[in-house]
């Protein structure tokens, strides 16, 4: 539509607006007269706070209405002399009026004006800030992002009061016109990264962008080419701020309580906010526990199958004898047992996610009974294998960020190890390493600071740098890029 | 979003094709030769005897006696199955064992190989061909010689321990640790296939302990056999064996009975630190052995003059010289002096390579023993 | 970001060398000391072979060896491309064949050789499709894991009674031929040096420094490896078909009985890296001859040809003669020496002719 398609006639504008909005029942129009000039306050039912509309818009207008004035002066009076709210925008076309109406704005239309004034008076229901359920910590803040992007902006702004923190707003989705915020620290992020991210987000041609997952493929270069993702998500504002300080970009999407962090490194999947609240030696210990857990969750079942079937000489004699006796009683080959158990585990995990909370405990009872006790006693699976699967399952919960790739890789390694022993595992591992080394989004290697080696950054991998060391150095993306170029 | 070029799409699809090729290769790798742990039978001890038409091989293989309960292995039982076959070669005998048992014989956890007294080591390539052919055989397999027949030892079920063969292995280890014999592994034999074959191998025998119905078979290490030119040339008693083990720089602690003034005293020699070197003096090879060790004696004589350092050193020197003499006289360089000659005097070694026994027999042994009483 | 550092290129070449060293020793070498002396002599020879490369590195850096040849003459570019294609096909053929043949000596159970060839070629081709920086990073990761494995093996063997110290001797009847054969063997293994020629445009640092670092690290690595395995195995080191696998099977801890399976896994990864680097270069060399071919297709074609040749030879069941045939050392030397020499000479002549007899020289 043409930019200035607001009619000078108020009635025509309202009629056009009603037609554009398909005669929706949620359109509220309050007409009035200010200085002999007809005005209308338009809002969408349920999107604005009726009380605020009444107190902040209708009352001041009605008090103004007792007088005489010209059309232009009425609009200027409304926009310049009366403050109404802090969030005020001028609108020039009907499409934008629709967008603002559905974003919780009330729009003031004046006869004889080709422009309107939109006032932010959001009154729709929104979830209050709660605890982050997906990323729990012990010693850190217990607030998390919500579905409202403006609340999320405030959660970040409260923590980073620097004027260098920039928040850019975009809109994506032809129908949804979802608000997307790009948040970054101006002096820590290279310009090309910001430009790239904006281009990527502006290139979204979807009808609706409803969650962060809709935007992620457009931002992540290696989305379809790699098992891992160079874009991570977080529910925690404190973690998002940490990443902003480290030179990353956060993307907040209206309607989803998860922020995208771009770009993300592999090593960051093993870091939590609790690391910054504990002594360095303990943090280093827990990081190694996480590394070992990741290895166990991905490689333990495959390694067990490979060694037991193809290289039993690796086990100590007594262990091998126990395994041999245990496997002798079961009807299926070891690889088939492992695959069966891992599939059962994934079924239980999915059921636990989808079941209502009230019935959640039933999953653990049924799962424990079926897979645990009964399967072993009936001789379908062996007891040592159950231990392997149990350890794998527990270890997989230590690094929730890597749960998706771990689940897929685990199955691949089980099949490779079961079919070809350590030869298969070695070949698959080589391919995986090549795949991960090829992840080079935004000119930052996914395996930084390990490959290429960045000596001062590697300390954070092996152990936790002390805060004195953090004081002296700033590890941002630019530093990582420069180190890689040296 | 950056526009994906045709090249990028082609690259990704090229990678996917290669991944499919890899998956197919691994699938075929596994399908063609599938292996399961239960398709193997675990051998942990083997006996080899000479038979009229080849070899008689006896095996101890694992068979759980207590399967079905909470604990797979019942350690109060022997958990073995005994099997004996005859064939022209050891490899053939193992194949026949597989056929008899209906499963592949797995030698990856072979702990001990016991040879019968009449087995000849003249052709080690033929004797150990099974170990070279089967890549899973552990190089550190302990070897021993039976006093009579190896099958007497292997075909006996021991009740103690979770595995019958553990008893033989533990007996060997303990005796090596206490200097009553020397260690002999498969690696020692394989390394000397192209070198002079001088080996020292423990000798094991079976005895019965207890009385009546409570009689139990027990493995006894009766000393060390010296092998030269593929044949057993000499037997050393346990007391002579500890001298040999010191000369080989293997033993670290020994129990001995030392005589002084007509009385005998219990002594435990410990922390032996042996230094060996070869030199030429007056045109003759001299093998210098410096030994520093401590002796633990009983409390009541520790601070008396009854047992002095000289007594202990003299006792040790006697034992060492006896072991040396027996070794040299039997034509077996069990101490390994020839290796010193080869490293330090290669020309001399090459000159005497075909008659190394003569060179060793003319070598002088020079001992310097420092024994401190704790 | 897409450049290779010294250590990344060294890692690529060292992975290849480690794979080859862990695989076999020449027949006629009687004892490890002969091999160590031969290795030292080979390093000196390799240093000399690299002199032409260091002198004309400046030309080669601008676009690579094919572009440098193309600037002299288009026919020369095709000739250089064909030469390296042949050399790299031979290299891949040897690696694939040796890998499959010696895998048979490591895995106790039988397997179909074409499945092993298919697996390792696919892994190598996957890596070959990537950029040189990815190959370098992957090689760095694999070399690091290899180093961790070696340290583990050394620590597990610390308490073991070391009997092999007396295995270091020079009491051989044919010392000079043993050393000569060792030199040839090391030169043949040193075919990885041609990656220095082929990856020169992607190298961030100078060729001289990279060559010096690699050759010294390689020599230390060869000596330490042979020294340690001799300490563990004694005289058996030269008798075993796969001495390092034998040593790994001899190492044990209280929890892990033996490490030969782990050795095999590490060995496979080293082979994949070596093949990956070679196939990447093979793809480039084929493209130098057939320009319109995409890199992926060139890599796939090269991999298929090498695998086919290796399989054909393997099915004749006489690969042992191929594996222990050291005459390929001449090919290795030519791969490192010939093309830089020709390019350097041709460039020199062209500059003299083009500048009226004045030689402006090319800087590295």
Closest-CA residue of A relative to B67 is A325
More confident residue, B126 or C298: C298
Can you give the residue ranges of every domain in chain A? 10-120, 149-264, 288-443
CA distance B205 to chain A (A): 25
Q: What is the mean pLDDT of residues C142-165?
A: 83
When comparing pLDDT for B227 and C28, which is higher? B227
- Read out DSSP for A71-131? HHHHHHIIIII----S-EEEE-SHHHHHHHHTTTEEEEEETT-S-EEEEE-B-S--PPP--
User: Which chain C residues touch A451 with a CB distance below 8 Å?
Assistant: 137, 140-141
Higher pLDDT, C110 or B120: B120
A449 cis-preceded (ω within 30 degrees of 0): yes
Structure confidence at residue B12 (pLDDT) = 73
Asked whether the beta carbons of B368 and B310 are under 8 A apart, the reply is no
Chain B residue closest to C234 (CA)?
Answer: B191
CB contact under 8 A, A427 and C138: no
pLDDT at C125 over 90: yes
Nearest to C112 among B28, B336, B339 (CB): B28
Least confident of A193-197, A421-425, B199-203, B303-307: B303-307
Residue C234 has pLDDT above 50, yes or no: yes
Note whether B273 contacts C: Cβ–Cβ < 8 A.
no
Counting residues of chain A whose pLDDT is more than 90, the rounded percentage is 40
Is the pLDDT assigned to residue B315 strictly greater than 90?
A: no
Residues near A45 by beta carbon (within 8 Å), at least 6 away in sequence: A25, A26, A27, A28
Neighbour count for residue A201 (Cβ, 10 Å): 22
Structure confidence at residue B278 as a pLDDT band (50, 70, 90): very high
Q: Is B251 left (phi over 0), alpha (psi -120 to 50) or beta?
A: beta
pTM of the complete model: 0.89
d(CA B106, CA C81): 51
Domain boundaries, chain C: 6-354
How far apart, in whole angstroms, are the C-alpha atoms of residue C137 and residue C201? 17
Q: Quick check: C355 pLDDT over 70?
A: no
Residue C363 pLDDT grade (very low, low, confident, very high; cuts 50, 70, 90) = very low
The answer for residues whose C-beta is within 8 angstroms of residue B127's C-beta and 6 or more apart is B48, B90, B119, B121
Say which range, A169-173, B147-151, B288-292, C54-58, has the weakest mean pLDDT.
C54-58
The pLDDT of residue C8 is above 60: yes
The stretches of chain B forming alpha helices (DSSP H) are: 6-32, 90-101, 124-127, 129-133, 150-154, 164-177, 186-191, 238-247, 299-302, 309-329, 337-344, 346-351, 356-361
pLDDT for C359 equals 47
Ranges A262-271, A387-396, B11-20: which has the least confidence: B11-20
Q: What's the count of helices (H) and strands (E) in chain C, helices before strands? A: 16, 0
Residue B157, C-beta contacts closer than 8 angstroms, at least 6 positions apart: B78, B80, B82, B164
Residue B122 gets which letter from DSSP?
Answer: S
Res B161 pLDDT > 60:
no
Nearest to C336 by CA among C7, C57, C32, C39: C57
* CA–CA dist B14, C126 (Å, integer): 9
Task: Characterize the bridge pairing of strands B142-146 and B198-209.
Answer: parallel
CA–CA dist A34, A38 (Å, integer): 6
In total, the C-beta contacts within 8 angstroms joining chain A to chain B are: 94
* Whether the predicted pLDDT of B5 surpasses 60: no
Dist. CA B256–CA B264, nearest whole Å: 10
> How confident is residue B307, by pLDDT bands cut at 50, 70 and 90?
low
| B232 DSSP 8-state letter | E
More confident residue, B70 or A138: A138
* Cα dihedral A16, A20, A25, A31 in deg (nearest 10): -30
Res. A1: pLDDT tops 50: no
What is the Cα–Cα distance from A159 to A183, expressed in whole angstroms? 13
Q: Note whether C131 contacts A: Cβ–Cβ < 8 A.
A: yes
- Average confidence (pLDDT) over B94-110: 88
**Per-residue model confidence as pLDDT tens digits over B195-210:** 778 889 999 988 877 7
Highest mean pLDDT among A272-286, B242-256, C260-274 belongs to: C260-274
CB contact under 8 A, B29 and A317: no
pLDDT of residue B290: 93
What local confidence, expressed as pLDDT, does residue A440 receive?
A: 86
3-state secondary structure of B56: strand
Supply the DSSP symbol for B3: P
Instruction: Report the side by side order of strands in the sheet with A88-91.
Output: A27-34, A37-44, A105-110, A116-120, A88-91
B41 phi, psi to nearest 5 deg: -115, 130
Q: From the CA of B39, how many Å to the nearest CA of chain A?
A: 9
Q: Is the peptide bond before A263 cis (omega within 30 degrees of 0)?
A: yes
More confident residue, A374 or B329: B329
Q: What does the pLDDT average to over C280-289? A: 95
Question: CA-nearest residue of chain B to A384?
Answer: B72
Q: Where are the alpha helices (DSSP H) in A21-58?
A: 50-52
The helix-helix angle for A94-101 and A10-20 (nearest 10°) equals: 60
CB B109 to CB A320 under 8 A? yes
Chain B residues with CB under 8 Å of A322 CB are 72-73
Mean pLDDT, range A157-176, rounded to an integer: 91
SS3 labels along C201-264: HHECCCHHHHHHHHHHHHHHHHHHHHHHHHHHHHHHHHCCCCHHHHHHHHCCCCCECCCHHHHH
Whether residue B354 has pLDDT greater than 90: no
Q: Residue C48 has what pLDDT? A: 92
Whether residue C162 has pLDDT greater than 70: no
The pLDDT assigned to C360 comes to 47
Query: CA B127: distance to chain centroid?
Result: 16
C300 vs A363, higher pLDDT: C300
Residue pLDDT, tens place only, A328-354: 888 888 999 999 999 988 888 888 888
Q: Please provide the CATH number assigned to the domain covering C6-354.
A: 1.20.1740.10
- Contacting chains of B (3 CB pairs or more, <8 Å) are A, C
Q: Which of residues 129-148 of B touch C (CB under 8 A)?
A: 134-136, 138-140
Q: C131: nearest CA in chain B? A: B11
- CA nearest to C87, candidates C338, C344, C352: C338
CB C14 within 8 A of CB C146: no
Candidate from A206-220, B239-253, C143-157 with smallest mean pLDDT: B239-253
Please give, rounded to a whole number of angstroms, the shortest distance from the CA of C127 to a CA of chain A: 6
Band of residue B259 on the pLDDT scale cut at 50, 70, 90: confident
pLDDT value, residue C352: 81
B7, B339, B350 member nearest C173 (Cβ):
B350
CA dihedral A42, A44, A48, A54 (to 10 degrees): 40
Q: Is the pLDDT of residue B2 over 50?
A: no
What pLDDT is recorded for position A41?
A: 92
Query: What's the rounded mean pLDDT across residues B289-317?
Result: 78
Mean pLDDT on C337-360: 75
Residue A384 CA to residue C257 CA, distance in Å, equals 19
Categorize the per-residue pLDDT at C364 as very low, low, confident or very high, splitting at 50, 70 and 90. very low
Return the minimum-mean-pLDDT range out of A75-84, B106-115, C164-173, C326-335: A75-84
Share of chain C above pLDDT 90, in %: 52
Q: Do A430 and C8 touch (CB under 8 A)?
A: no
pLDDT band at A325 (very low <50, low <70, confident <90, very high): confident
More confident residue, B229 or B299: B229
Compute the mean pLDDT over every residue in chain C, rounded to the nearest whole number: 88
Q: Which residue of A has its CA nearest to C104?
A: A423
Chains B and C form CB pairs within 8 A to the count of: 116
- Asked if pLDDT for residue C362 goes beyond 90, the answer is no
Tokens of A303: 């390694």
pLDDT band at B14 (very low <50, low <70, confident <90, very high): confident
CA atoms within 13 A on the CB side of A412: 20
Residue C223 pLDDT greater than 50, yes or no: yes
DSSP state of B220: E
Give me the mean pLDDT over the B77-87 stretch: 81
Give the best residue of C28, C119, C253 to mutate against chain B (max B CB count within 10 A): C119
Looking at domain B238-374, what is its CATH homologous superfamily? Nutrient germinant receptor protein C, domain 3 (3.30.300.210)
Nearest residue of A to residue B74, measured between CA atoms: A322
Q: What is the pLDDT of residue A436?
A: 94
pLDDT digits (tens, 9 = 90+) for A449-475: 888 777 777 888 888 777 877 777 666
Task: Give the Cβ contact number of residue A270 at 10 Å.
Answer: 20
């Amino acid at each position: 539509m043409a930019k200035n398609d607001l009619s000078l006639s108020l009635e025509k504008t309202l009629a056009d607006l009603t037609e554009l909005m398909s005669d929706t029942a949620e359109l509220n129009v309050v007409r009035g007269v200010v200085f002999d000039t007809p005005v209308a306050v338009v809002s969408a039912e349920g999107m604005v706070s009726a009380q605020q509309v009444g107190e902040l818009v209708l009352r001041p207008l009605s008090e103004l209405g007792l007088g005489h004035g010209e059309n232009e002066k009425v609009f200027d009076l409304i926009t310049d002399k009366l403050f109404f709210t802090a969030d005020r925008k001028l609108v020039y076309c009907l499409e934008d009026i629709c967008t603002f109406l559905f974003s919780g704005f009330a729009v003031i239309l004046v006869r004889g004006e080709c422009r309107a004034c939109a006032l932010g008076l959001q009154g729709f229901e929104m979830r209050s800030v709660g605890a982050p359920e997906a990323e729990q910590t012990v010693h850190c803040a217990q607030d998390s992002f919500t579905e409202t992007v403006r609340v999320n902006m405030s959660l970040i702004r409260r923590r980073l009061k620097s004027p260098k923190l920039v928040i850019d707003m975009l809109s994506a989705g032809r129908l949804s016109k979802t608000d997307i915020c790009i948040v970054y620290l101006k002096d820590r992020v290279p310009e090309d990264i910001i430009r790239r991210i904006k281009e990527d987000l502006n290139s979204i041609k979807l009808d609706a962008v409803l969650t962060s997952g809709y935007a992620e493929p457009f931002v992540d270069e290696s989305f379809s080419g790699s098992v891992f993702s160079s874009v991570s998500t977080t529910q925690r504002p404190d973690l998002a701020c940490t990443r902003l300080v480290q030179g990353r970009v956060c993307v907040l999407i209206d309607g989803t309580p998860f922020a995208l962090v771009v770009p993300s490194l592999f090593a960051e999947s093993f870091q939590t906010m609790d690391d910054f609240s504990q002594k360095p030696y303990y943090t280093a210990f827990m990081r190694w526990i996480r590394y070992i857990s990741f290895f166990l969750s991905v490689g333990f079942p495959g390694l067990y199958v490979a060694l037991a079937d193809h290289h039993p000489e690796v086990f100590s004699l007594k262990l091998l004898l126990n395994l041999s006796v245990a496997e002798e009683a079961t009807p299926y080959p070891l690889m088939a047992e492992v695959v069966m158990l891992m599939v059962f585990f994934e079924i239980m995990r999915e059921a636990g996610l989808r079941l209502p909370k009230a019935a959640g405990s039933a999953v653990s009872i049924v799962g424990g009974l079926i897979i645990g006790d009964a399967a072993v006693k009936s001789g379908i699976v062996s007891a040592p294998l159950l231990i392997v699967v149990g350890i794998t399952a527990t270890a997989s919960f230590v690094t929730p960020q890597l749960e998706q790739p771990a689940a897929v890789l685990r199955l691949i390694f089980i099949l490779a190890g079961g079919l070809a022993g350590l030869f298969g595992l070695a070949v698959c591992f080589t391919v995986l390493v090549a795949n991960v080394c090829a992840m080079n989004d935004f000119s930052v290697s996914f395996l930084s600071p390990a490959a290429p080696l960045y000596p001062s950054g590697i300390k954070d991998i092996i152990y936790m740098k002390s805060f004195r060391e953090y004081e002296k150095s700033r590890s941002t993306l630019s530093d990582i890029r420069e180190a890689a170029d040296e | 979003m950056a526009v994906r070029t045709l090249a990028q799409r082609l690259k990704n699809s090229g990678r996917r094709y290669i991944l499919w090729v890899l998956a197919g290769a691994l699938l075929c790798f596994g399908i063609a030769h599938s292996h399961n742990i239960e398709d193997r039978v675990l051998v942990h001890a083997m006996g080899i005897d000479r038979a009229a038409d080849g070899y008689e091989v006896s095996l101890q293989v694992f068979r759980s006696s207590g399967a079905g309960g909470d604990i797979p292995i019942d350690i109060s039982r022997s958990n073995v199955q005994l099997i004996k076959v005859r064939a022209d070669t050891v490899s053939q005998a193992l194949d026949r064992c597989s056929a008899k048992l209906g499963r592949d014989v797995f030698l990856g956890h072979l702990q001990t190989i016991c040879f019968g007294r009449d087995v000849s080591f003249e052709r080690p390539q033929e004797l150990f061909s099974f170990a070279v052919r089967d890549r899973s055989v552990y190089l550190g397999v302990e070897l021993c010689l039976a006093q009579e027949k190896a099958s007497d030892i292997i075909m006996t079920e021991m009740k103690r321990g979770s595995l019958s063969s553990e008893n033989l292995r533990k007996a060997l280890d303990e005796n090596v640790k206490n200097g009553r014999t020397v260690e002999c592994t498969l690696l020692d034999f394989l390394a000397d296939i192209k070198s002079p074959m001088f080996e020292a191998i423990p000798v094991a025998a079976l005895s019965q302990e207890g009385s009546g119905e409570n009689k139990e078979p027990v493995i006894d290490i009766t000393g060390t056999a010296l092998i030269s030119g593929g044949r057993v040339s000499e037997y050393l008693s346990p007391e002579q064996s500890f001298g040999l083990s010191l000369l080989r720089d293997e033993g670290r602690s020994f129990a001995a009975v030392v005589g002084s003034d007509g009385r005998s005293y219990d002594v435990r020699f410990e922390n032996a630190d042996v230094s060996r070197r070869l030199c030429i003096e007056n045109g003759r090879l001299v093998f210098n052995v410096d030994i520093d060790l401590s002796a633990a004696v009983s409390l009541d004589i520790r601070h008396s003059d009854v047992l002095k350092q000289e007594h202990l050193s003299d006792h040790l020197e006697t034992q060492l010289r006896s072991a040396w003499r027996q070794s040299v006289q039997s034509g077996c360089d069990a101490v390994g002096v020839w290796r010193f000659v080869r490293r330090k005097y290669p020309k001399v070694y090459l000159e005497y390579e075909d008659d190394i026994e003569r060179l060793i027999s003319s070598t002088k042994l020079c001992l310097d023993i420092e024994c401190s009483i704790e | 970001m897409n450049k290779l550092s010294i250590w990344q290129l060294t890692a690529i070449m060292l992975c290849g060398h480690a794979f080859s060293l862990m695989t076999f020793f020449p027949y006629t070498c009687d004892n490890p000391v002969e091999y160590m002396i031969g290795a030292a002599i080979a390093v000196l020879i390799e240093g000399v072979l690299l002199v032409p490369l260091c002198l004309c590195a400046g030309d080669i850096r601008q676009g690579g060896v094919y572009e440098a040849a193309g600037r002299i003459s288009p026919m020369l570019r095709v000739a250089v491309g064909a030469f390296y294609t042949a050399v790299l096909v031979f290299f891949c053929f040897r690696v694939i064949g040796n890998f499959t043949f010696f895998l048979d000596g490591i895995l106790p159970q039988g397997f179909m050789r074409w499945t092993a060839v298919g697996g390792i070629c696919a892994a190598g081709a996957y890596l070959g499709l990537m950029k040189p920086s990815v190959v370098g990073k992957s090689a760095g990761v694999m070399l690091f894991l290899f180093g961790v494995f070696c340290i583990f093996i050394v620590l597990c063997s610390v308490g073991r009674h070391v009997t092999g110290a007396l295995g270091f001797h020079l009491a051989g009847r044919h010392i000079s031929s043993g050393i000569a054969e060792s030199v040839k063997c090391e030169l043949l293994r040193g075919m990885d040096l041609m990656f220095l020629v082929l990856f020169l445009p992607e190298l961030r640092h100078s060729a001289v420094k990279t060559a010096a670092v690699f050759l010294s690290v390689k020599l230390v690595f060869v000596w330490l490896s042979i020294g340690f395995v001799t300490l563990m195995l004694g005289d058996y080191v030269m008798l075993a078909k796969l001495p390092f696998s034998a040593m790994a099977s001899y190492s044990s801890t209280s929890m892990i009985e033996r490490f030969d399976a782990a050795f095999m896994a590490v060995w496979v990864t080293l082979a994949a890296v070596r093949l990956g680097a070679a196939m990447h270069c093979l793809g480039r060399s084929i493209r130098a001859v057939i320009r319109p071919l995409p890199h992926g297709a060139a890599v796939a074609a090269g991999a298929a040809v090498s695998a086919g040749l290796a399989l054909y030879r393997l099915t004749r069941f006489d690969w042992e003669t191929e594996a222990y045939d050291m005459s390929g050392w001449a090919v290795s030397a030519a791969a490192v020496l010939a093309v830089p020499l020709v390019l350097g000479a041709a460039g020199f002549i062209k500059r003299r002719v083009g500048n009226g007899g004045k030689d402006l020289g090319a800087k590295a």
